[in-house]
Amino acid sequence: MALFRPTLMISGVIFCLVSISLSFGLAGSTQSSFGATTGSIQACEGTDLAGAFAHSNLYAGGGIVTFAITNVGTSKCRLGGYPKLLGIRGGHEYPLSHVVHGTQGGNLYPTTLTPRMSGAFILDTSLGCNANVGPLPVADTYRGIVIVLPNGHGHVWIPGVRLEVPCGLGESQLGWSKGFVFD
d(CA 26, CA 72): 39
- Per-residue pLDDT, averaged over 126-138, amounts to 56
Helix, strand or coil, per DSSP, at residue 175: strand
Q: Per residue in 52-87, pLDDT tens?
A: 999 888 777 678 899 999 999 999 999 999 999 999
Q: Are 100 and 169 in contact (CB under 8 A)?
A: yes
pTM for the predicted model, two decimal places: 0.72
Inform me whether the pLDDT recorded for 4 exceeds 70: no
Residues 36 and 121 in one domain: no
Tell whether 1 is covered by a domain: no
Note whether 102 and 74 are same-domain residues. Answer: yes
The answer on 146 and 126 residing in a single domain is: yes
Are residues 34 and 53 located together in one domain of the fold?
no
